């Protein structure tokens, strides 16, 4: 299938508008006017419809197939939350509508959604206050780091370093670095846990914060977390929780109870909102009381008469971190999703997510190397160490899965596991789907053993085969549109 320009036939038209019968407007200065024709494709309406319908049928997504991407939680989200997010009473609101007085009735519902979502997130995570403004997980991390910087500055603490384990998601060190901190890496022990002795030796009066993910990116829960918190707090270092993915801990563990001071949640991973292709998302940030004066403005206040208003009167606030109020529609979906599940529903989410991941791990650990074979939380990590002597890498397994109808899991992350394959089945998939996936993984493992060369050619069922991905990104072919 060629791109749409390749189907262009000179003179063919998709519209038949009457010719212009008003005088041309010459108010645009000469030097701003086009001198060449717009190079658009010339096609009929039917050509265009068939082209894009054809493309859409090649889309791969959760609505078509299983998508077991580790860390990024590609789970099915109910369509009812999509429907709610486009209700006109919400989607047609202008962000500058007055909150109270005239027209105030129009905005009260939206303000109530944000206020109540903040309360629900506090309840779920054990934090004292939330802002829903950050527009992605990484944006939440940066906001959290700015809050920590503001806290230390306010106290007169001179802090320059943030401690981060070597298994952390790449956004952790980058967010801390953008906030101005030096990154100190903490190694992970053979048990997949943070090396506490190394942490102790690196903690000092220079430490602004420790950023942790728990369960970590290896899918393992660190039960010594309170010890880490006590160590951090001895130095007044703030404990940051990367809650991009809460799928394993809903109703089971609250970062706030484990003495974390600040955290973000990716609504687009745990609480509805499909998130392929880069967004939109939302990364609300929760804090303990001592950090709440620094939260971004605006914040939502509930007045004694039951109405809601935006409050800007926080002199220590770090200010604005997003236009208006963040990605409101994403927050609305999350609010609807949480209410839809209810307390027991959220507990079920976590239990099923963890059960599914353990089912995949135990079914595959004899076919692939499993660095942590004894159980996992919501995701598990395998590697192709067994297949490596035969010349098979994680990428070959990933490409082989495509021919069997599955989106590949995350590969080559976490960085500390050589040839890593990271699988997150999520709670929304059935046992039948997991069994099909497990069968496909086993089949690929046996092809890797019996005819590794054929696996090197995968995928063979897609419009394009294996690409030189670096070249595809660096040397794009623009010939059709130039
Ligand atoms: C996805 C993810 C992030 C970053 O979230 P974005 O919304 O992609 O910016 C951070 N940490 C972890 C563990 C993640 O899985």
Contact 251, 88 (CB under 8 A): no
- Domain CATH code at residue 294: 3.40.640.10
Examine the pLDDT at 275 and tell me if it is beyond 90. no
* 314 and 382 assigned to the same domain: no
* 283 in any annotated domain: yes
* 11 in any annotated domain: no
* 423 and 321 assigned to the same domain: no
- Number of structural domains, the chain? 2
Examine the pLDDT at 100 and tell me if it is beyond 70. no
- Tell me the C-alpha to C-alpha distance, in Å, between residue 90 and each of 27, 95, 103, 113, 469: 38, 10, 14, 10, 41
* 28 in any annotated domain: no
Ligand 1 — pocket residues by CB below 6 A?
71-72, 136-138, 169, 171, 213, 217, 242, 244-245, 266, 281, 283
The pLDDT confidence band at residue 2, using thresholds 50, 70 and 90, is confident
Boundary-marking domain end, from 285, 315, 340: 340
Parent domain of 103: 79-340
Choose the residue to mutate in 70, 133, 171 for probing ligand 1, maximizing ligand atoms within 8 Å of C-beta.
171
pLDDT tens per residue, range 428-443: 999 999 999 999 999 9
pTM: 0.91
What's the chain's length in residues?
482
- Domain CATH code at residue 358: 3.90.1150.10
Examine the pLDDT at 340 and tell me if it is beyond 80. yes
pLDDT tens per residue, range 397-423: 999 999 999 999 999 999 999 999 999
Q: Closest Cα to atom 8, ligand 1: which residue? A: 137
Produce one character per residue of 69-95: b if its CB has 16 or more CB atoms within 10 Å, e if not. Answer: bbbbbbbbbeeebeebbeeeeeeeeee
* 323 and 374 assigned to the same domain: no
What is the pLDDT, as a whole number, of residue 428?
A: 95
Above pLDDT 70, what percent of the chain? 97
* 51 in any annotated domain: no
What is the pLDDT, as a whole number, of residue 98?
A: 77
* 264 and 155 assigned to the same domain: yes
* 290 and 244 assigned to the same domain: yes
* 356 and 312 assigned to the same domain: no
What is the pLDDT, as a whole number, of residue 481?
A: 56
* 336 and 370 assigned to the same domain: no
pLDDT tens per residue, range 298-321: 999 999 999 999 999 999 999 999
The string of DSSP letters for 246-306 reads: -TTTTTT--TTTTT--EEEE-HHHHSS---GGG------EEE-GGGGGGSPSPEEEE-TTS
Residues facing residue 263 across a β-bridge: 241, 286
* 17 in any annotated domain: no
Q: Closest Cα to atom 5, ligand 1: which residue? A: 137
* 14 in any annotated domain: no
* 419 and 332 assigned to the same domain: no
* 56 in any annotated domain: no
Boundary-marking domain end, from 340, 367, 398: 340
* 10 in any annotated domain: no
* 289 and 196 assigned to the same domain: yes
Boundary-marking domain end, from 284, 315, 340: 340
* 459 and 429 assigned to the same domain: yes
* 331 and 444 assigned to the same domain: no
Ligand 1 atom with minimal separation from the 283 CA: 7
* 256 and 294 assigned to the same domain: yes
Ligand 1 atom with minimal separation from the 268 CA: 7
Ligand 1 center from residue 187 Cα (angstroms): 20
Exposure of 194 by Cβ count < 10 A (0-12 exposed, 13-18 middle, 19+ buried)? Answer: buried
């Amino acid at each position: 299938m060629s791109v749409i320009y390749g189907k262009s036939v000179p003179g063919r038209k998709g519209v038949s508008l009457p010719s212009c019968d008003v005088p041309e407007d010459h108010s645009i200065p000469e030097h701003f006017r086009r001198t060449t024709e717009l190079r658009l494709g010339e096609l009929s309406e039917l050509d265009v419809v068939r082209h894009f319908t054809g493309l859409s049928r090649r889309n791969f997504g959760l609505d078509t197939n299983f998508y077991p991407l580790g860390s990024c939680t590609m789970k099915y989200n109910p369509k009812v939350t999509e429907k709610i997010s486009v209700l006109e009473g919400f989607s047609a609101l202008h962000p500058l509508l007055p909150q109270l007085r005239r027209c105030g009735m129009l905005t009260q519902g939206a303000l109530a959604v944000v206020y109540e979502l903040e309360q629900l997130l506090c309840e779920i995570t054990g934090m004292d206050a939330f802002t829903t403004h950050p527009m992605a997980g990484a944006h939440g991390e940066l906001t959290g780091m700015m809050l920590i910087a503001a806290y230390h500055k306010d106290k007169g603490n001179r802090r320059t370093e943030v401690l981060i384990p070597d298994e952390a998601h790449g956004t952790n060190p980058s967010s801390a670095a953008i906030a101005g901190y030096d990154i100190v890496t903490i190694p992970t022990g053979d048990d997949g846990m943070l090396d506490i002795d190394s942490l102790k030796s690196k903690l000092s009066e220079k430490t602004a914060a420790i950023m942790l993910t728990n369960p970590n990116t290896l899918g393992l829960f660190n039960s010594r977390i309170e010890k880490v918190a006590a160590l951090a707090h001895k130095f007044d270092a703030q404990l940051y929780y990367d809650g991009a993915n809460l799928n394993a801990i809903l109703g089971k563990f609250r970062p706030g109870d484990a003495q974390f001071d600040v955290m973000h949640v990716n609504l687009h991973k745990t609480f509805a909102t499909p998130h392929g292709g880069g967004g939109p998302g939302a990364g609300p940030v929760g804090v303990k009381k001592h950090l709440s004066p620094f939260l971004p403005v605006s914040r939502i206040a509930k007045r004694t008469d039951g109405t809601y208003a935006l409050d800007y009167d926080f002199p220590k606030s770090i200010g604005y971190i997003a236009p208006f109020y963040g990605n409101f529609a994403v927050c609305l979906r999350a609010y609807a999703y949480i209410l839809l599940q209810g307390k027991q529903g959220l507990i079920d989410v976590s239990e099923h997510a963890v059960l599914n991941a353990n089912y995949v791990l135990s079914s595959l650990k004899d076919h692939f190397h499993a660095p942590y074979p004894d159980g996992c939380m919501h995701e598990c990590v395998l590697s192709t160490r067994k297949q490596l002597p035969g010349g098979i890498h994680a990428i070959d397994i990933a490409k082989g899965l495509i021919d069997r109808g599955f989106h590949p899991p995350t590969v080559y992350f976490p960085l500390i596991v050589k040839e890593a394959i990271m699988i997150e089945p999520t709670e929304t998939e059935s046992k039948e789907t997991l069994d099909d996936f497990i069968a496909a993984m086993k089949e690929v493992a046996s092809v890797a053993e019996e005819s590794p060369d054929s696996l090197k050619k995968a995928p063979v069922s897609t419009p394009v085969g294996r690409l030189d991905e670096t070249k595809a990104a660096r040397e794009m072919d623009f010939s059709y549109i130039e």
